Chain A
Amino acid sequence: DGGITQSPKYLFRKEGQNVTLSCEQNLNHDAMYWYRQDPGQGLRLIYYSQIVNDFQKGDIAEGYSVSREKKESFPLTVTSAQKNPTAFYLCATNPDSSGGPQHFGDGTRLSIL
């Protein structure tokens, strides 16, 4: 089945630790995106990548880092510098960089203890 796999679905980490969220896709899409969702707010863009080995900051990139070494993978690291990391994180893809993301993963809920 073609799709986007985010793992794990739930993640708990102690304050001060870095944590990496996985996003893998087998859709052969060029563009990949990371969004953060907080209660009562719209999704906000953290980082996006239009091609391998290239990525751009979104609206709320501070405290996060990404890599795009392979077309199918776009991991997001939540660093200890992120002041309020507890949130729901969604990965998305699009065949190209036009039109915005149209395919979404099931998300990872990160809780900092």
Chain B
Amino acid sequence: KNEVEQSPQNLTAQEGEFITINCSYSVGISALHWLQQHPGGGIVSLFMLSSGKKKHGRLIATINIQEKHSSLHITASHPRDSAVYICAVLGSARQLTFGSGTQLTVLP
């Protein structure tokens, strides 16, 4: 079983829809990252959180440490949000363990 599981693996939405991507992990962590990978391959860090909720523009990330679960929400989705979204957790070895990513496609 992978230490970091993301769902869904693939997600197609219509422009304007509210999107949720989920991340579950099985190890103790000190922080969780949400990353965005564009078709060219470059990765951008969206959030790092260890508790509660963070918001940046149309993006919201939440984490429940007790349930070992995090969600990334996108409100009013747009075709430019199409990308791979990756969850990564920072474990006791101070290294990141990555999920396999969620491919999001937003159709106009």
- For the residues of B in contact with A, the DSSP-based class is strand
Interface residues on A, range: 20 to 34
Q: Are A42 and B4 in contact (CB under 8 A)?
A: yes
Which residues of B lie under 8 Å from residue A105 when comparing CB positions?
42
Contact string against B for A residues 45-66, beta-carbon threshold 8 Å, 1 for contact and 0 otherwise: 1001000000000100000000
- Known A97-B94, A100-B31; contact A42-B86, beta-carbon cutoff 8 A: yes
Contact string against A for B residues 26-44, beta-carbon threshold 8 Å, 1 for contact and 0 otherwise: 0000010101000011111
Whether B20 is near chain A, meaning CB under 8 Å from some CB there, is: no
Q: Are B41 and A101 in contact (CB under 8 A)?
A: no
Contact string against B for A residues 27-52, beta-carbon threshold 8 Å, 1 for contact and 0 otherwise: 00000000000001111110010000
Chain A positions 78-105 with a Cβ under 8 Å from a chain B Cβ: 88, 90, 92, 97-105
Q: Are A100 and B94 in contact (CB under 8 A)?
A: yes
Query: What are 18 A-B interface contacts by the 8 Å CB criterion?
Result: A42-B86, A42-B97, A42-B98, A42-B100, A42-B101, A43-B86, A43-B88, A43-B98, A45-B96, A48-B95, A90-B41, A100-B33, A100-B94, A100-B95, A100-B96, A101-B96, A103-B45, A105-B42
